[in-house]
Chains A and B, each alone.
Chain A
Amino acid sequence: MKQRSLFDIISPIMTGPSSSHTAGAVRLGLMARKIYREKPQKVILKLYNSFAQTGKGHGTDKGLMAGLLGYNVDSNKIKNIFNDAALKDIEYRFENEQNIERHPNAVDFLLYGKINMRISGNSIGAGNIEITKIEDFTTKISGELNTLILFYKDKPGMISRVSTLIQKENINIASLDCDRDAKGKTASMCICLDSEISDSIIKKIEEIEDVYFVRNLKRLED
Chain B
Amino acid sequence: MEYSFTTFESLLEICNKENKRIYEIMQEKEAFDFDKTVEEVRNKTEKSLKAMKEAIKNGLKSKEKSISGLCGDDCYKLLGRYKKTGSTFGKIFEKITTYALATMEENLRMNRIVACPTAGSCGIVPAVIIALSEKYKSDKEEEINALITAGAIGYIISAKVAMAGAIAGCQAECGVASAMSAAAAVQIMGGDEKQKINAAALALKNILGLSCDPVSGLVEIPCVKRNVFMAIHAITASELSMADIESKIPPDEIVDAMMQTGQLMSPLLKETSQGGLATTKTGILINKNLSNN
Inter-chain CB contacts under 8 Å: number = 129
Q: A16-B119, A17-B66, A126-B118 are in contact. Are A8 and B158 (CB under 8 A)?
A: yes
B90-128 with Cβ < 8 A to chain A: 106-120, 122, 125
Q: Do A11 and B114 touch (CB < 8 A)?
A: yes
Stretch at the interface among A54-62, A84-92, A180-188: A54-62
A54 CB contacts on chain B under 8 angstroms = 216-218, 273
Q: A3-B33, A5-B30, A10-B45 are in contact. Are A16 and B106 (CB under 8 A)?
A: yes
Give Cα A1–Cα B284 distance, bound, in whole angstroms: 41
Stretch at the interface among A18-26, A135-143, A209-217: A18-26
Q: A6-B41, A13-B51 are in contact. Are A19 and B159 (CB under 8 A)?
A: no
Q: Do B148 and A76 touch (CB < 8 A)?
A: no
Whole-angstrom distance between the Cβ of A52 and the nearest chain B Cβ: 11
Q: Do A62 and B115 touch (CB < 8 A)?
A: no
B273 CB contacts on chain A under 8 angstroms = 54
Whole-angstrom distance between the Cβ of B37 and the nearest chain A Cβ: 14
- In the complex, whether B151 has a CB less than 8 A from a CB of chain A is yes
Give Cα A102–Cα B51 distance, bound, in whole angstroms: 35
Q: Nearest 6 CB-CB pairs, A to B?
A: A16-B107, A54-B217, A9-B154, A79-B110, A57-B218, A13-B51
- In the complex, whether A129 has a CB less than 8 A from a CB of chain B is no
- In the complex, whether B163 has a CB less than 8 A from a CB of chain A is yes
* Chain A residue nearest to B51 in the complex (CB): A13
Write out, one digit per residue, whether chain B residues 51-89 have a CB within 8 A of any chain A CB (1) or not (0).
100000000000000111000000000000000000000
Q: Do A57 and B217 touch (CB < 8 A)?
A: yes
Q: Do B158 and A125 touch (CB < 8 A)?
A: no
Whole-angstrom distance between the Cβ of B57 and the nearest chain A Cβ: 15
A5 CB contacts on chain B under 8 angstroms = 30, 33-34
- In the complex, whether A41 has a CB less than 8 A from a CB of chain B is no
For A10, give its contact among B107, B116, B119, B159 (CB under 8 Å): B116
B139-162 with Cβ < 8 A to chain A: 147-148, 150-152, 154-155, 158-159, 162
- In the complex, whether A40 has a CB less than 8 A from a CB of chain B is no
Q: Do B148 and A23 touch (CB < 8 A)?
A: no
- In the complex, whether A44 has a CB less than 8 A from a CB of chain B is no
- In the complex, whether B44 has a CB less than 8 A from a CB of chain A is yes
Q: Do A13 and B41 touch (CB < 8 A)?
A: no
* Chain A residue nearest to B219 in the complex (CB): A17
